[in-house]
Structure 1
Amino acid sequence: MNEFLVRRLSETERQMNNPNLRPKDAATLLVLDRREDGNHRVLMGRRHMRHRFMPGMFVFPGGRVDPADSRVPVAGDYHPGVAGKLVHAMKGPKTDARARAFTVAAVRETYEEAGLLVGSPSDLAWQGSGDMAAFSDRRLLPDLTPIRLIARAITPPRRPRRFDTRFLAVFADAVADRLPSGTGPSGELEDVHWLTLQEAKSLELPTITLTIIEELQARLADDPELDPAHPVPFYYWRGKGFVREEI
């Protein structure tokens, strides 16, 4: 059991008096701005205080995977090492479309919340619905090729909401366009900023977000190019604490 991670949980995060919901698939995107000195920056924003789930916390852009995400066309394929890790211990059908949906969801949410369009130019004639129309209008497609998996984590039982989240990463040179406002059309994230990983650790963060930042720091020190073959951590709750496995 990962007792250190359990000790970090806030009083709110320790509350386990809710119905035991089934975790929903989710994805979040760590957009990394590489620096020559190694102090890479990551894009984060603060959740609006009106949110029921983690109000006021700083997080990476991301959210729940929607059924339509599996039907959005994409550019390129995952590296086999990434694809295999994405479907590891996946509940239900282990299909290519479902694996693609994690990146589409993360890219869609990054646009909605932070105003960045992560993707590649394409001559494909397609019409995106909702916020994905911003991609088709610019003749862009979400691109699986540069995506890397950093971690997977499942929210402990009996929390108000539960997610089975893939923490994905991409370097900032994959950003094809951005809104001039510096934030996304949904307004879900405020104070969207580029922060060094060390700066990010000083913010008010969910425990798992802080843990993932530390995992990323350690990985970049050993693996600055984010080799797809590199093992990644998988956190889930068993008994009275978190288990950390490597995928």
Structure 2
Amino acid sequence: MDQRTIEPQTPGPASAAPEPARRPALRPRDAATLILVDRRGRAPKVLMGRRNPGLVFMPGKFVFPGGRIELGDRHMSVAGTLPDYAEAALARQVTRPPHHLGRALALAAIRETHEETGLLVGTRAYGPPEAVPTGWEAFRAHGVLPDLEALHLVARAVTPPGRVRRFDTRFFAADRRAVAAEEPGRVGPASELVELAWLPLAKARKLDLPVITRAILDELEAQIAVDFAPHRPIPHHFVRHGKRQRTFL
């Protein structure tokens, strides 16, 4: 999406400099993120990954694993469905939401978490899926079905205009105990994430974080405090007229 459009020039003095080319506004792509939370100790810990410094988008920043929806995410078998409150919130403030949008977003978060960290979130209680779409082969190999009931919807955030990438991201959380299998070797110098760390929220906030990741950590802490109660409001972060906004779905 590096195309540029040039505005028509208004006739003027020969010495007038041409207007610079303007970058067209990028439409945000649907994406999802999964925050893994370990609540077994005195203070909750979250899994953070540092992005490869060579990447164009947020190089070297610490983030949660995630990415955009892929075609196979709309067809993967699951062991359980999203809670009703999450399905309803995910459909709000979306123009003509596609069929099973929430399901596809939750599966994208689970698949991207595996691709970036090697962790497979789901259950082995029902045996391996009989057939899987592209991108989900590891789940069949390890006998894991993704379990959407294990996910909590935390927030939604849209990348501000003017960035090299724009995403309409939904943030989910899951307990560390929802990890059913692990594949080593996914993190390293040539990977999207070059390191992983389980950190208390206070230490995670001290990392080199994108602004929205820091905000989501605050949202997460508040929702952990109420044990992800289904009646809690789901925040929506975006930028309008150059100002950051926070509303609720």
Normalization by structure 1: what TM-score?
Answer: 0.86
1:33 to 38, 58, 64: 38
SS in 1 for 2:164: coil
Partner residue in 1 for 2:107: 104
Does the 8 A contact of 2:46 with 2:199 survive in 1? yes
- Structure 1 segment 172-187 matched on structure 2, within 5 A: 172-181=176-185, 183=187, 187=191
Name the one with the larger helix percent. 1
Q: Which moved more, 1:230-239 or 1:120-129?
A: 120-129
Does residue 239 in structure 1 map to residue 244 in structure 2?
Answer: no
Q: Which moved more, 1:19-28 or 1:66-75?
A: 66-75
The alpha carbon displacement at 1:139 in A equals 2.0
Deviations 1:134-156 (A, max 9, x none): 00112211111111111100111
Does residue 147 in structure 1 map to residue 175 in structure 2?
Answer: no
Partner residue in 2 for 1:90: 94
The alpha carbon displacement at 1:46 in A equals 0.5
Does residue 203 in structure 1 map to residue 198 in structure 2?
Answer: no
- Structure 1 segment 155-174 matched on structure 2, within 5 A: 155-174=159-178
Partner residue in 2 for 1:53: 57
Does the 8 A contact of 1:197 with 1:213 survive in 2? yes
Percentage of pairs with the same residue:
43
The alpha carbon displacement at 1:30 in A equals 0.2
Q: Which moved more, 1:119-128 or 1:78-87?
A: 119-128
Partner residue in 1 for 2:14: none
Query: Which runs of no fewer than 5 residues in structure 1 stay unpaired?
Result: 1-16
Deviations 1:9-50 (A, max 9, x none): xxxxxxxx742111000000000000342x111111110011
Query: Which runs of no fewer than 5 residues in structure 2 stay unpaired?
Result: 1-21
Counterpart CA distance in 2 for 1:199 and 1:157 is 30
Q: Which amino acid aligns with 1:191?
A: E
Q: Which amino acid aligns with 2:50?
A: R
Partner residue in 1 for 2:12: none
Say how many residue pairs are matched: 227
SS in 2 for 1:140: coil
Of structures 1 and 2, the one with the larger relative CO (CA 8 A, separation 6+) is 1
Partner residue in 2 for 1:116: 119
RMSD: 1.9
Does the 8 A contact of 2:80 with 2:147 survive in 1? yes
Does the 8 A contact of 2:46 with 2:200 survive in 1? yes
Does the 8 A contact of 1:235 with 1:242 survive in 2? yes
The alpha carbon displacement at 1:129 in A equals 4.2
The alpha carbon displacement at 1:120 in A equals 1.3
Does the 8 A contact of 2:32 with 2:105 survive in 1? yes
Counterpart CA distance in 2 for 1:239 and 1:93 is 25
Structure exhibiting the larger radius of gyration computed from Cα positions: 2
Q: Which amino acid aligns with 2:222?
A: A
SS in 2 for 1:199: helix
2:221 to 213, 217, 221: 217
Does the 8 A contact of 1:82 with 1:229 survive in 2? no
Does the 8 A contact of 2:129 with 2:145 survive in 1? no
The alpha carbon displacement at 1:125 in A equals 4.2
